[in-house]
């Protein structure tokens, strides 16, 4: 549904997106994850035909964005970073305008507006002026605008920013519900958000993809295995050596009584063997714990590792 290849965008001398390539299949929900200034919004603006790329190509719904912008735009619903709402319009009037602008025939506009209002639970405020709504409501109006013409592809730039926790859950459910019929790309800085809604994550940093996978695989892949930490009474060279020889152990480092044991990924259960080895060498195990690297850490790791290279 979406094919991006070697996409590059420079603002003057600053390269915002650098040789980005990825694909999104029909019906997938994909999360764009990256720190501030990673190039998420820039990529989305290019995909939606808002601005052209410096080089490379992007295809949406079978049409080249730069050659067939109108066809592409017909198939996309876009929620930009700042919800593009007119403060002087009523909610339903605005959604009617957005529907008409996206080619919804006149007789279907009312139904389309009602549908979008319902999906985003905006029914109560439908005749209020957008300018009088709170930030979270305005964000929802922006989201309703992206949905109103029932597009095949949805591109949502930080869709849950500014929403309250209850709304966040509702909107995440809404997005999850779109999977299958719609293809969705959403961006976020927040991992739980992406884990909650997306089947696949594309982590980008400084305009480049640093990881791209399903959430489970990403966890195991970058999580360089597990790390156990063990505190012992009598650390000894032979004891440390014995632990190091346990199958699956990648490395052992000792600082005083504290041993940090790194395990190769996918090595099965090793804790018994490690503790047994330590006990056998009479090191006197005092404490043993597993440190699971969380997704947050993976994210930080990915984006900071990149920092060292640059």
Partner 1 sequence: MNIGNVWTIARRDYRSYFNSPIAYIVIAGFLTIMGWMFFFNLSHFNAQAMQYQVFSQGKSPSITDGIIRPLYGNMNVIFLFLIPFITMRLIAEERKLHTIELLMTAPVTLTEIILGKFFSAYLLVIVMLALTLVYPIILFLTGNPELGPIAASYLGVLLLAGCYLSLGLFFSSLTENQIVAGALTFASGLFFWLVSWASQSAGPVWGDVLTHLSLISHYQNFGQGLINTGDIVYYLSFIGFGLFLTHRVLDSFRWR
Ligand X SMILES: Nc1ncnc2c1ncn2[C@@H]1O[C@H](COP(=O)(O)OP(=O)(O)OP(=O)(O)O)[C@@H](O)[C@H]1O
Q: Contact between 41 and Mg ion (CB under 5 A)? A: yes
Q: Contact between 85 and ligand X (CB under 6 A)? A: no
Residue closer to ligand X by CB (options 187, 270) is 187
**Dihedrals φ, ψ of 213, to 5°?**
-170, 180
- Residue position matching structure tokens 């980008």: 204
Q: Contact between 42 and ligand X (CB under 6 A)? A: yes
Q: How far is CA 98 from CA 45, 144, 148, in A?
A: 18, 10, 7
Binding mask 70-89 for Mg ion (x = CB under 5 A): -----------x--------
Q: Contact between 38 and ligand X (CB under 6 A)? A: yes
Cα(141)–Cα(191) distance, rounded to whole angstroms?
Answer: 24
Q: Contact between 286 and partner 1 (CB under 8 A)? A: no
Reduced to 3 states (helix: H, G, I; strand: E, B; else coil), residue 96 is: helix
Residue closer to ligand X by CB (options 58, 232) is 58
Cα(108)–Cα(118) distance, rounded to whole angstroms?
Answer: 16
Q: Contact between 139 and ligand X (CB under 6 A)? A: no
Rounded to a whole number of angstroms, the minimum distance from the CB of residue 185 to partner 1 is: 14
Rounded to a whole number of angstroms, the minimum distance from the CB of residue 41 to ligand X is: 3
Q: Contact between 102 and partner 1 (CB under 8 A)? A: yes
Q: Which does 250 bind (CB under 5 to 8 A by kind): ligand X, Mg ion, partner 1, none?
A: none
Rounded to a whole number of angstroms, the minimum distance from the CB of residue 310 to partner 1 is: 25
Number of residues that bind ligand X (CB under 6 A): 13
Q: Which does 153 bind (CB under 5 to 8 A by kind): ligand X, Mg ion, partner 1, none?
A: none
Query: Are 149 and 103 spatial neighbours (Cβ–Cβ below 8 Å)?
Result: yes
| Nearest residue (beta carbon) to Mg ion | 41
Counting Cβ atoms within 10 Å, is residue 285 exposed (0-12), middle (13-18) or buried (19+)? middle
Q: Which does 176 bind (CB under 5 to 8 A by kind): Mg ion, partner 1, ligand X, none?
A: none
Cα(229)–Cα(262) distance, rounded to whole angstroms?
Answer: 9
Q: Contact between 160 and ligand X (CB under 6 A)? A: no
Binders of partner 1 among residues 37 to 66 (CB under 8 A) are 45, 48-52
Q: Contact between 96 and ligand X (CB under 6 A)? A: no
Q: Which long-range contacts (CB under 8 A, 24 or more apart) does 116-120 make?
A: 116/144, 116/145, 116/147, 116/148, 117/91, 117/92, 117/144, 119/144, 119/147, 119/174, 120/144, 120/147, 120/171, 120/174
Buried b (16+ CB within 10 A) or exposed e, 142-175: bbbbbbbbbbbbbbbbbbbbbbeeebbebbbebb
Residue closer to Mg ion by CB (options 204, 230) is 204
Rounded to a whole number of angstroms, the minimum distance from the CB of residue 139 to partner 1 is: 13
Q: Which of 208, 194, 155, 153 is nearest to 44 (CA)?
A: 155
Give the other-Cβ count within 10 Å of 287's Cβ. Answer: 10
Binding mask 181-200 for ligand X (x = CB under 6 A): --------x-----------
Q: Tell me which residues touch Mg ion (CB under 5 A).
A: 40-41, 81
Q: Tell me which residues touch ligand X (CB under 6 A).
A: 11, 14, 16, 34, 36-42, 81, 189
């Amino acid at each position: 549904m979406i094919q991006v290849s070697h996409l590059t965008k420079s603002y003057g001398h600053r390269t915002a997106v650098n040789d980005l390539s990825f694909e999104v299949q029909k019906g997938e929900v994909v999360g764009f994850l990256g720190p501030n200034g990673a190039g998420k919004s820039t990529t989305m603006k290019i995909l939606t035909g808002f601005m052209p790329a410096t080089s490379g190509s992007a295809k949406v719904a079978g049409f080249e964005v730069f050659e067939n912008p109108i066809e592409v735009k017909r198939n996309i619903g876009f929620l930009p970073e700042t919800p593009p709402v007119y403060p002087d319009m009523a909610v339903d009037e605005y959604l009617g305008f957005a529907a008409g602008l996206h080619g919804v025939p006149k007789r279907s506009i009312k139904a389309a507006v009602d549908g979008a209002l319902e999906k985003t639970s905006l029914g109560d405020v439908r005749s209020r002026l957008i300018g009088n709504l709170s930030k979270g409501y305005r964000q929802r109006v922006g989201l309703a605008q992206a949905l109103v013409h029932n597009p095949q592809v949805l591109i949502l730039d930080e869709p849950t920013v500014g929403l309250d926790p209850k709304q966040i859950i509702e909107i995440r459910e809404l997005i999850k519900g779109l999977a299958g019929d719609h293809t969705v790309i959403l961006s976020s800085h927040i991992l739980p958000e992406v884990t909650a809604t997306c089947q696949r994550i594309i982590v980008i940093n400084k305009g480049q993809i640093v990881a791209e996978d399903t959430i489970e695989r990403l966890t195991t892949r970058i999580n360089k295995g597990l790390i156990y930490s063990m505190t012992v009474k009598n650390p000894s060279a032979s004891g440390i050596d014995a632990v190091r020889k346990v199958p699956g152990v990648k490395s052992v480092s000792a600082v005083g009584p504290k041993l940090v044991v790194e395990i190769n990924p996918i090595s099965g259960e090793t804790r018994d063997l490690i503790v047994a080895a330590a006990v056998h060498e009479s090191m006197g195990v005092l404490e043993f714990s597993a440190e699971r690297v969380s997704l947050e850490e993976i994210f930080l790791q990915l984006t900071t590792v990149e920092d060292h290279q640059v």
